[in-house]
Amino acid sequence: MNLTETKISSEEVYHGTFINVFEDTVCLPNGNQAQRIVVQHPGAAAVLAVTSEQKVVLVRQWRYPVGEALLEIPAGKLDGKNEDPAHAAVRELAEETPYTATEVKLIHTFYTVPGFGDEKMYLYLAENVQADSKLSADEDEIIEPVLLSREEVRKALASNQIHDGKTLIALQYWLLYC
């Protein structure tokens, strides 16, 4: 079955510092036309970092759109379409937490909001995690580092304390495969 939608026209309705929003008219496979809102995003990298004490490195930060502080793995947008996501993952770990990693291994890629956006997330596993970062968070990021053991992660998951999709994916990976 052909499910392809073909763009007929596109109008930019917002141009921002890291997202752009378009209203597109598409031709559906059945020949009908429909409107699609598309949020273009440069992509992002996230990192699952585990200390030598077997504690996962998380951050708690306020997420204004949802009106609450969320517990998340370190992550951030790519600095343009050409930035290496692995480099971004290492950078975000060092900026958002006291930790660094000598390298990262790609676990998975996924789209965060495919119903209206093209953001592609690159999820990495950090290797050789050390508490020696000299970097700090961006000026507009107020972040609290949090370390959780496997048992604490299981309890947090069971009691619905983690609401962030990338973090749910990363923690399930850690519990199942590491």
User: Which entry of 11, 53, 139, 151 is annotated as an active-site residue?
Assistant: 139
* Terminal Cα-to-Cα distance of the chain (whole angstroms): 39
- CA–CA gap between residue 112 and residue 121 (Å, rounded): 7
User: DSSP H helical segments within the chain, as ranges?
Assistant: 85-96, 150-158, 165-177
Amino acid letter for position 176: L
In 3D space, the residue among 21, 19, 23, 24 whose CA is nearest the CA of residue 5 turns out to be 24
User: Quick check: is 92 catalytic?
Assistant: no
Per the listing, tokens 């598409």 go with 26
Alpha-carbon Rg for the chain, nearest whole angstrom, is 18
Active site residues: 139
